[in-house]
């Protein structure tokens, strides 16, 4: 049935209920203030209040899903498209030297808010962020064994 809560754009409907204990659902619904930089029928993008760098934004689908495994393919694709657009704006208007697009799933992957979302983090040559691992060559036999886990055949 059509939704009329503040979290839906007029003329659209919410496909899944909002999670009352989800901060991002509350932001989408307008119950918690945010600075929005993008809004459409599927997603919003807001300024991150704990930014990694100047201009860090979060792209959040309106429909609640804890992580990528519960998000619809359409929401994942739409959030990627919005993130791409915002990354271009960061390069053009914030004089960013690059942009990190990051998405985490589960506490072990640094997810802290359990509502699927995408980080768009403008990067600057002098920013404090560092790569969280030290790249080193992998054992090729091990890569072949592990690759079998990803087989879709």
18, pLDDT greater than 70: no
List the domain boundaries for the chain.
23-150
127, pLDDT greater than 90: yes
CATH architecture of 23-150: 2-Layer Sandwich (3.30)
1, pLDDT greater than 50: no
The confidence score (pLDDT) of residue 11 equals: 39
Three-state SS annotation for 61-129 = ECCCCCCCCCCCHHHHHHHHHHHHHHHHHHHHHCCCCEEEEECCCCHHHCCCCCCCCEEEEEECCCCCC
CA separation for the pair 62, 40 (Å, rounded):
9
58, pLDDT greater than 50: yes
State the average pLDDT for the chain. Answer: 89
**Model confidence pLDDT, tens digit, residues 81-103:** 999 999 999 999 999 999 999 99
């Amino acid at each position: 049935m059509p939704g009329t809560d503040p979290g839906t754009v007029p003329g659209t409907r919410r496909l899944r209920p909002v999670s009352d204990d989800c901060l991002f659902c509350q932001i989408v619904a307008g119950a918690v203030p945010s600075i929005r930089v993008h809004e459409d029928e599927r997603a919003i993008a807001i300024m991150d209040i704990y930014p990694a760098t100047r201009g860090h934004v979060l792209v959040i689908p309106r429909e609640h899903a804890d992580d990528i495994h519960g998000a619809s393919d359409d929401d994942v694709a739409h959030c990627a498209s919005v993130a791409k657009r915002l990354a271009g704006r960061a390069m053009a208007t914030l004089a960013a030297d690059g942009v990190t697009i990051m998405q985490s799933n589960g506490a072990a992957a640094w997810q802290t808010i359990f509502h699927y979302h995408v980080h768009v983090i403008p990067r600057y040559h002098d920013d404090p962020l560092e790569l969280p691992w030290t790249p080193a060559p992998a054992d090729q036999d091990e890569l072949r064994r592990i690759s079998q886990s990803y087989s879709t055949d």
